[in-house]
Copies of this chain bind each other. A is one copy, B any other.
């Protein structure tokens, strides 16, 4: 039985031995750079854990796991350009360190390399793998597009928001587990249940992210809390507040959203105060718990020995209890 930590180590070892070509350096150095930035390797670890539910030899899932991690890194490279993010993990992003063109092109090459690793899976599994991977990949693009669209969309419903984070974040966790299950030769039913577990934990994870931006502690969260509030990001918290507030409180909320010049702390405190009045923290925590419970129920139904589920239960716990 492999722990999350074991899986992360297997992945990091494989990533250290990718042997990308040297030339052209402006294409491959950015790829090496992004991979070396590190990260928790959550998605490829899920591929291995999904596989390990059913069989001991997770080696069969390593190439698909690398494919998933390369895909994730491709999305980071392109998202950072689209979001004009200058830093990732406290280091300059690729388009900042090199330039935007190199960020676009080395991201493209990263996506193609993801497919190259997926193609190394056993031939008899390739059709199924590609179907899951392609569906996931296009959904992640749809999620990113909705996320960008929502910035200028006046009326985003809670349902639309949940659908967006499902596409943008949850389907990749979901597909990672499914790909692991396929690698192990699991039944379609079990692969589907695992996929459902991943989707629901993924949504809970993203809602937790929204919550931490407002109620997280700087020392744990790693980044300054309140960024979403300052930028008027339509998070689960803000959308709920806009839905629940009325009268003077709604006016105050709208006032702060519309205000161009403001003191950062003043705006954060004013909006948190409204969130507190409306009980937004509890509402969000309740929603997180619902998705978490839904996810765990799907995991419970997977037909494998209970002790094999330990790593994934632990994973879900970490996701829901994390402070960063």
Which of A40-48, A52-60, A112-120 is near enough to bind chain B?
A: A112-120
Cβ of A200 within 8 Å of any chain B Cβ, yes or no, is: no
Name A's interface SS: helix
Please, how many angstroms separate the alpha-carbon atoms of A130 and B145 in the complex? 28
Which chain B residues lie closer than 8 Å to A130 at the CB level?
115, 119, 126
Which of A136-144, A172-180, A282-290 is near enough to bind chain B?
A: A136-144
Cβ of A94 within 8 Å of any chain B Cβ, yes or no, is: no
A-B pairs, top 6 by smallest CB distance, nearest first, are A27-B145, A119-B130, A109-B141, A24-B145, A82-B101, A116-B134
Which chain B residues lie closer than 8 Å to A145 at the CB level?
24, 26-27, 102, 105
Chain A 93-112 interface mask (CB, 8 Å, partner B; 1/0): 00000000110111111011
Chain A 292-320 interface mask (CB, 8 Å, partner B; 1/0): 00000000000000000000000000000
Which chain B residues lie closer than 8 Å to A82 at the CB level?
101, 104-105
Q: Would you call A149 and B26 a contact (CB within 8 A)?
A: yes
Q: Would you call A104 and B78 a contact (CB within 8 A)?
A: yes
Cβ of A123 within 8 Å of any chain B Cβ, yes or no, is: yes
Question: Which of chain B's residues has its CB closest to A74's CB?
Answer: B108
Residue from B106, B113, B127, B134 within 8 A of A115 (CB atoms): B134
Task: Indicate whether A148 sits within 8 Å of B81 (C-beta atoms), given known contacts A108-B111, A109-B138.
Answer: no
Q: Would you call A144 and B105 a contact (CB within 8 A)?
A: yes
Question: Which of chain B's residues has its CB closest to A27's CB?
Answer: B145
Question: Which of chain B's residues has its CB closest to A116's CB?
Answer: B134
Q: Would you call A112 and B134 a contact (CB within 8 A)?
A: yes
Which chain B residues lie closer than 8 Å to A134 at the CB level?
112, 115-116, 119
Which chain B residues lie closer than 8 Å to A108 at the CB level?
74, 78, 107-108, 111, 141
Which chain B residues lie closer than 8 Å to A149 at the CB level?
24, 26
